[in-house]
Amino acid sequence: MIQSLLIANRGEIAVRIIRTCREMGIRTVVAYSQADADSLPVRMADGHVCVGPAPARESYLNVRNLVTAAVLSGCDAVHPGVGFLAENAGFARDVKEAGLTFVGPEPQVIDLLGDKIRAKKSAQELSIPVIPGSAGSVADAREALKAAESIGYPVIVKAAAGGGGKGMRIVHDASELADVLLVASHEAEKAFSDGTVYLEKYLENPRHVEIQIVGDSRGNVVHLGERDCTVQQNHQKLIEESPSPVVTPELRARMGEDAVRLLRGLGYTGAGTVEFLVKDGAHYFMEVNARVQVEHPVSELVTGVDIIRQQILAASGEALEIRQGDVKVGGYAVECRINASSAGRVTQFMSPGGYGVRMDTFLYVGYNVPPWYDHLVAKLIVTGQNRAEGLRRMQRALSELVIEGIRTNIESQKKIIAHPVFRSGNYGTGFLGEVMKEGGL
């Protein structure tokens, strides 16, 4: 069992990991940048090591300092959290080579899933429905045109190393394709130093639905139902809920089985997410996030499973505490991401509370939010017996939330939760864009 864990991350996810570790009796050491010396995780952890200056590439992405910090501070494991080095196979290898446990899947699994083309192939081989597209990468415009003809327009150009919408382009007819291909490939080259791109059928306004998975090193792979992350602003998730308003029990079972089959096939350990697009009742494999996700609390609250705990048990070589048969998706949960649009000192902070409200944040009055990192400052998650009750509770909780000294998206979250289209549950990933165009937010 892991005795002492270095957390190679910051903010709310570092706080989240510390909480479960404290309940498990695991000592925590937080690696932090000079910009985070006063941060809540640094204060909460049993120990802390400064690993570099504010810029992430010199601190939270500084593999040498992170691994050295783990070894010298007496840790026997490293948790990468979310983002930064969480899906970096090289980091995972260095951690293992230093004789430490990496809390995540095996490096070669991270590698494979990081390559969207290979990941898609693996899914196809297990006859998991995928979005029609080019057989692997497209080397040039000629190949691309051939592929596009067979798929049918509109098509979307994606980066093999992709993520976060970078290197993604929609093409409506052949005339655009050649140019777009160059742009996308160039963008991908810049973002991931890998210009490889491929083509897929472009699904108009689909739902984004993902399956939460936990697996151990003993062959147990369990899914915790789905999360609906259809409310997005330029590919950034803003609201996540479970269960999804559009997923039937049958579809849930099919998607769950597909996700489990895929990750069991890869010998996946720890927490991971299989992302699908859902359109007209059919689901299409999109990609796998080989890490715990920001929105994992939503699944924790509908299943009663502490996902970080299962992740740590799995990394320790222990068996999961649950089997598929034990998993009951009960009630409803929804998360609103609270993002900062300015840095600075927090002059007042009032957290919502009471029945059915969970708050995950690293804010406190007097904290100086640094301008260097991700803009997520809080996750407000509420539960309800059903979606209607849950959304009423979210509205109530948002109305209690006070953050002063920095600008946030609290007001726009209130508008989304109150929006009739969102309430109807009947919309696609284009929803938010449409609302913004109308000036609705």
Partner 1 sequence: MELKELYALMERFEKSGLSEIFYKKDGEEVCLKKAAPVTYAAPMVAAAGAPVAVPGMPAASADAPARHAADTEFIRAPLVGTFYRAPAPDAPPFVEKGDTVKKGKPLCILEAMKLMNEFQAEFDLEVVAILADNGNMVEFGTPLFEVRRV
Contact footprint for partner 1 (CB under 8 A): 4, 22, 27, 29, 34, 37-38, 40, 43-53, 59, 64-65, 67-69, 71-74, 94, 98, 345, 347-348, 350, 364-367, 398-402, 404
Q: What DSSP assignment string belongs to 261-330?
A: HHHHHTT--EEEEEEEEEETTEEEEEEEE-S--TTHHHHHHHH---HHHHHHHHHTTPPPS--GGG----
- The question of whether 57 is a catalytic residue gets the answer no
Asked if 396 touches its own copies (CB under 8 A), the answer is: yes
Report the partner that residue 387 touches, choosing among partner 1, its own copies, none (CB closer than 5 to 8 A by kind): none
Q: How far is the CB of 358 from partner 1 (least distance, A)?
A: 19
Report helix, strand or coil for 224.
Answer: strand
Reference 319, options 223, 214, 225, 213; nearest CA is 214
Distance, CA of 273 to CA of 224 (rounded, Å): 10
Strand order in the sheet with 197-201: 169-171, 155-159, 197-201
Q: How far is the CB of 297 from partner 1 (least distance, A)?
A: 22
**Could you give the CA distance from residue 325 to residue 394 in angstroms, rounded to a whole number?**
30
195-214 residues near its own copies, rule: CB under 8 A: none
Check binding of 423 to its own copies (CB under 8 A): no
Smallest gap from Cβ 100 to its own copies, in A, equals 25
- CA R_g for the chain: 21
Task: Please say whether the beta carbons of 341 and 333 come within 8 A.
Answer: no
Percent helix, strand and coil across the chain, each to the nearest 5: 35, 25, 35
Which DSSP letter does residue 434 get? H
Binding-site member from 361, 409, 413, 429 for its own copies (CB under 8 A): 361
107 binds, among partner 1, its own copies, none (CB under 5 to 8 A by kind): none
Report yes or no: 7 and 18 within 8 Å, Cβ to Cβ: yes
Beta carbon of residue 48, minimum distance to partner 1 (angstroms, whole number) = 8
5 vs 221 by CB, closer to partner 1: 5
CA distance 226 to 7: 27
Binding partner at 27 among partner 1, its own copies, none, C-beta below 5 to 8 Å by kind: partner 1
**Helix 107-114 and helix 89-97, axial crossing angle in degrees, nearest 10:** 170
Question: Which partner in partner 1, its own copies, none is near 253 (CB below 5 to 8 A by kind)?
Answer: none
Chosen residue from 47, 53, 129, 304 binding its own copies by CB under 8 A = 304
Q: Are 61 and 85 in contact (CB under 8 A)?
A: yes
With left for phi above 0 and alpha for psi between -120 and 50, is residue 357 left, alpha or beta?
beta
Least distance between its own copies and beta carbon 320 (Å):
14
Q: How far, CA to CA in Å, does 110 sit from each of 107, 237, 269, 291? A: 5, 22, 11, 9
- Residue 114 or 405 having the CB closest to partner 1: 405
Q: Which of 172, 248, 230 is nearest to 426 (CA)?
A: 230
φ, ψ dihedrals at 350, nearest 5°: -120, 115
As measured in angstroms, the least distance from the Cβ of 294 to its own copies is 14
The nearest distance, CB 9 to its own copies, in angstroms, is 15
- The identity of residue 380, as a single letter, is L
Amino acid at 358: R
Strand partners, 408: 340
- Round to whole Å and give the CA distance between 32 and 59: 7
Rule CB under 8 A: choose which of 355, 420, 424, 438 binds its own copies: 355
* Closest CB to its own copies among residues 217, 395: 395
CB under 8 A: which stretch of 1-9, 310-318, 344-352, 424-432 binds its own copies? 344-352
Q: Which does 354 bind (CB under 5 to 8 A by kind): its own copies, partner 1, none?
A: its own copies
Total chain residues near its own copies (CB under 8 A): 37
Residue 354 interacts with its own copies (CB under 8 A): yes or no: yes
19 binds its own copies (CB under 8 A): yes
Query: What's the closest the beta carbon of residue 21 comes to its own copies, in angstroms?
Result: 9
Selected catalytic residue, list 227, 291, 337, 387: 291
Nearer to partner 1 by C-beta: 50 or 174?
Answer: 50
426 binds, options partner 1, its own copies, none, Cβ within 5 to 8 A by partner type: none
Partner whose binding site includes residue 389, from its own copies, partner 1, none (CB under 5 to 8 Å by kind): its own copies
205 binds, among its own copies, partner 1, none (CB under 5 to 8 A by kind): none
Q: Which residues bind its own copies (CB under 8 A)?
A: 15-16, 19-20, 22-23, 40, 44, 297, 300, 304, 306, 331, 348-351, 353-361, 364-366, 385, 389, 392-393, 395-396, 399-400
The residues annotated with a catalytic role in the active site are 291
